[in-house]
A and B are shown apart, each in its own frame.
Chain A
Amino acid sequence: MSDFLLELLSEEIPARMQARARNELARLFAESTGEAGLGTGAIDVFSSPRRLALIARDVAEATEASREEVKGPRTSAPPQAFEGFLRKTGLRQEQLEQRNGVWFAVVERAGRQAAEILSDTIKRIVADFAWPKSMRWGSGSLSWVRPLQGIVAILGEEIVPVEIDGIVSGATTVGHRFHHPGDITIGGASDYVEKLRACHVIVDQDERERQIREGAGTAAADAGLTLLEDEGLVVENAGLTEWPVPLIGRFDPEFLDVPREVIVLTMRTNQKYFACTDESGALAPAFVCIANVAAKDGGASIIEGNRRVLAARLADARFFWEQDLKVPLEEQAKKLDGIIFHEKLGTVADKVERVAKLARWLVEQGIVKGADADEAERAARLAKADLVTGMVGEFPELQGVIGGYLAEAQGEPPAVADAIRDHYKPVGQGDAVPTAPVTVAVALADKMDSLVGFFQFDEKPTGSKDPFALRRAALGILSLIIENGLRASMRDLITAAAHAGGANAGRDVAGFLIERLKVQQREVGINHDLIDAVVAVETGGDNVRMVRRVQALQEFVQTDDGADLLVAYKRAANILKKEDWVGPQVMSSAEEQGIPQTGEEDPLVLVEEPGLREAVAEIASGHAGADLPQEKALIAALDDAESKASAAVEAEDFTGAMAALASLRKPIDEFFDHVTVNDPDSAKRERRLNLLMRFRDAVNRVADFSRIEG
């Protein structure tokens, strides 16, 4: 057994594509060798800007020969079927055998040498490789991420021969573009990594990442600063270098007038630099860049060059910043009527108008407490103004942040400036949820306006398509409501956010939010069935109440009492279902009378006659004629638990409501242990079924246990 080395040398592969490319290489290799039956040991994959490499350990010398009998068509089958079978097996008619009117063929496959299989594997890898974007070059027809320049393929010490669109495999590759421009010859998998290292190429991306992470940190520390860690930048720089050399440089402290976010972002996105902070945590006028060369002057020219580039970038940023500072946000906001938000939802100015009203409404209704309605409205009116600033034009990801700084600079109250800055939050799961009241009002209004509006104009997310990020908006809405304890019915919120002229989408939006709530709660470990159980009894759409109830339910079903009660509940429900039991038989069922059943009807509402009322009440409660002590005990327990549970639900003490249910555990267990429901005496049977029904309904008033799985 030998080790196999494959290197695909190319012009520079985009950094962002390298991690996926490594996986793709390993996957295609394993798939192709696996299908050919060629055994291999562990597979390592490497990438650098100029190469993708794979080392497979312990590759078998060859595959075993195989012999297989294949059943063909009936001898009476049409000739096309027979010819097809010959083609498939590659045999002639005289080599086939007939048995019981059916053709049989013995297909022998010779064992194949590993090199032959690997040669096919390489062709297949190059042909099938899924790059996010690939290209052609020169006069060839081959497609690769960038021009493919060479193939090193060595099994043990032997070259695996393969030719792809004029590129012939060999043992020759190149080292670092500038340190070792000539060819280098590789012996095999065993010396590949070290030979490259000797030629200033660290082919293992993990090692380069480590060098960058540690080297950048050290460079900052040596200058008395702290590196702002950024793992994304580490990976990106590792994808841009074969010989990473961290260097620290300085920029003119005058640029620190520009908002910190702008400086960090300019350095990061445009230049791939790390930022540093000083001991006070403030941004330091310094940058760490990762060069791809051990320069002969120690990097002085590189640092100077990078400093000048950064100075130009920051000068440009400062130009935009100073321009933006000259224009009040109110003036900028006027330009928003020239920006289409969505063809059916009008301009951004239209949106601002709606959001301003909604934000004010949220405060005036007392849904968002502790905010000033005028401030909420003003923040909403200015929140989108930064979209037309030069700064956001340059750095769209700083929308909100720039507006916040500009608001501060023009003397807006801090609550208004904060709300402008943070009103896009939370942006996805894990992002901080605003808590400042004015911010909450604007953030919620903005998201509700989008969610409801897009639903009204039939632009809902479908499958994987969510072009307006409505799932994220819905999650944001839920987080804002739940984390800030905003008490409002979803129905009212949706109605208030509805756009004039749009379709009625209240039900769709509410359903969508419930689905999102399940997703959100699953993240914190709550199963969707518990949410269903609560949604069934929470009709008001108050998410805060709903989540508290779900949390109490979750805690309860995890206790012994809860788990046991769930079992008893299921048993009772099953019996009732089996018996088709709908309630005391003295009256026609609610269903028959055309009354919608929600499971919470009071059986007494339909009974007018006072004397009958009492009788029915007694029957419904199970009191009438109870003869066994376990029946009596259950009745007593229900009398107590029902009133406690309903009082607790009323007071939103859901833990208390669950505790009331827990008190039913013992009596219901004993009831099942000692009482025969299906008593031959039909009066007893009816009475006991009624009692079980009462138990079931009592539980259901706290949460619909029938929806709980398990």
Chain B
Amino acid sequence: MSLSFQDLILTLHRYWGAQGCVILQPYDMEMGAGTFHPATVLRALGPDAWRAAYVQPCRRPTDGRYGENPNRLGHYYQYQVVLKPSPDDLQQLYLGSLVEIGIDPLKHDIRFVEDDWESPTLGAWGLGWEVWCDGMEVTQFTYFQQVGGFECRPVTGELTYGLERLAMYIQGVDNVFDLRFNDADVSYGDVFLENEREQSAYNFEVADTEALFDLFRKAAAECERCLGAKLPIPAYEQAIKASHVFNTLQARGVISVAERQAYIGRVRDLAKAACGAWLERSPSPREGEGGARSEAVGG
């Protein structure tokens, strides 16, 4: 029998754990993508080597469909792997993980299709691919070039697996809510369908936009206070918070096209400042292992 949703995660944990990754638990904040986790954004900066893998729940309020669309969710999981510096055999390691979860590359069509990645809210970009399995994008594969406006030296390789899609593929189901969550008859819908309905209603109809605007302002102010106190990690968390509030405001349809850029720019400034503060911090958490720290280039 093919892997259940939770066994898929456990298999990837074992595989990447064996590659020297620290297996982290999800970050306890709302975020739009696994990349936002400080274990990716902050650790991609500076000279120190780093390998980590974790599951991150992602919230994208605008993607919610009240549980009625078989493929779109406002809340879903990403499996995130970061390897710094990116090893020469990263593609092979990645393909090895696919074999591990039951995808035979001589039976399926696996392709690396150009996809440049950019996150305007993080001031980050990288080059890489979306990995296709029989025409379906199952993973985003990126070599980070810049984060927070700073050059990445060495370069971090980032793999982001879309867990629900991958599981749907492996299990051969057409509706995400039909996924086997475990092998004891619990489906993905049993766990999350009601959540999708309620969260969609909240994000599209109920969320108090005045309160959200206020929250955005407060998060931005708090971020700046943390920066003043030379606390880059709490500062970065406030940037994540502002980003999520902005996403919810978008779903409520109260941010005009003209304002949108201004909000994105505001979040980017906060994230960049936090990244800059992280690079400035002293001493390095693993001082002595990474050798001399390279000079960061502002961007």
Contacts and interface: CB of A to CB of B under 8 A. Distances in A.
Interface string B69-112: 11110000000000001111001000100000000011111111
B288 interface: no
A316 B71 contact: yes
Contacts of B213: none
Given A137-B155, A146-B127, A312-B70, A292 B111 contact: yes
A15 B257 contact: no
A12 B91 CA distance: 10
B87 to A, nearest CB: 7
Contacts of B114: 12, 14-16
A301 B134 contact: yes
A271 interface: yes
A240 B86 CA distance: 24
Q: List 9 A-B pairs, minimum CB-CB distance, nearest first.
A: A305-B134, A14-B114, A12-B112, A306-B135, A139-B154, A291-B109, A178-B105, A309-B136, A135-B127
Interface string A299-310: 001101110111
Given A133-B116, A133-B127, A138 B134 contact: no
Given A49-B112, A292-B109, A136 B133 contact: no
B258 A340 contact: yes
Interface in A262-308: 271, 273, 289, 291-293, 295-297, 301-302, 304-306, 308
Interface residue range, chain B: 35 or more
Given A12-B114, A339-B257, 19 more contacts: A11-B112, A12-B112, A12-B129, A133-B116, A135-B126, A138-B88, A139-B154, A146-B128, A240-B111, A289-B135, A292-B110, A293-B105, A302-B108, A305-B109, A306-B136, A308-B136, A310-B135, A316-B71, A319-B65
Residue of B72, B107, B257 most packed against chain A (CB within 10 A): B107
Contacts of A309: 134-136
A179 interface: yes
Contact of B174 (A14, A138, A146, A311): A311
A496 to B, nearest CB: 30
Contacts of A102: none
B110 A178 contact: yes
A338 interface: yes
A604 interface: no
Contacts of A319: 65, 69
Contact of B143 (A137, A178, A292, A338): A137
10 contacts: A12-B112, A14-B114, A133-B127, A138-B86, A139-B85, A139-B155, A241-B111, A292-B109, A301-B107, A308-B169
A240 B113 contact: yes
A244 to B, nearest CB: 11
B134 A149 contact: no
A135 B143 contact: yes
B43 to A, nearest CB: 15
Given A136-B145, A340-B258, A306 B88 contact: no
Contacts of B110: 177-178, 292-293
Interface in A332-352: 338-340
A39 interface: no
A146 B95 CA distance: 17
A315 interface: yes
B256 interface: yes
Interface string B108-142: 11111110100000000011110001111000000
A302 B153 CA distance: 39
A428 interface: no
A294 to B, nearest CB: 9
A667 interface: no
Given A309-B134, A315-B69, A295 B257 contact: no
Given A312-B71, A338-B257, A138 B127 contact: no
Nearest to A343: B258
A311 B105 CA distance: 23
Contacts of B91: 11
A338 B256 contact: yes
Interface residue range, chain A: 35 or more
A662 B34 CA distance: 80
A50 B112 CA distance: 10
A635 to B, nearest CB: 72
A461 interface: no
Contacts, number: 119
A316 B72 contact: yes
Nearest to B126: A135
B289 to A, nearest CB: 14
Contacts of A301: 107-108, 134
B108 A138 contact: no
A147 interface: yes
B181 to A, nearest CB: 20
A16 B126 CA distance: 18
Given A305-B135, A306-B134, A309-B136, A293 B109 contact: yes
Given A302-B109, A305-B108, A311-B174, A147 B134 contact: no
Contact of A137 (B70, B86, B108, B257): B86
A178 B99 CA distance: 12
Interface string A1-38: 00000000001101110000000000000000000000
A295 B107 contact: yes
Interface string B28-52: 0000000000000000000000000
Interface string B204-224: 000000000000000000000
A273 to B, nearest CB: 8
Given A138-B155, A293-B105, A305-B135, A340 B71 contact: no
A308 B95 CA distance: 22
B69 to A, nearest CB: 6
Nearest to B154: A139
A177 B154 CA distance: 27
Given A136-B145, A139-B154, A316-B69, A296 B107 contact: yes
B109 A315 contact: no
Interface in A129-151: 133, 135-139, 145-147, 149
A219 to B, nearest CB: 15
A296 B135 CA distance: 18
Contacts of B133: 305
Residue of B71, B129, B257 most packed against chain A (CB within 10 A): B71
Nearest to A49: B112
B88 A147 contact: yes
A296 B169 contact: no
Contacts of A135: 126-127, 143, 145, 155
A323 to B, nearest CB: 11
Residue of A16, A49, A305 most packed against chain B (CB within 10 A): A305
Contacts of B136: 305-306, 308-309
A148 B95 CA distance: 18
Contacts of B107: 295-297, 301-302
Contacts of A305: 108-109, 133-136, 169
A49 B113 CA distance: 9
Given A135-B143, A302-B134, A312-B70, A295 B154 contact: no
Contacts of A241: 111
A12 B72 CA distance: 29
Interface string A370-412: 0000000000000000000000000000000000000000000
B111 A271 contact: no
Given A306-B134, A316-B71, A138 B111 contact: no
B38 to A, nearest CB: 22
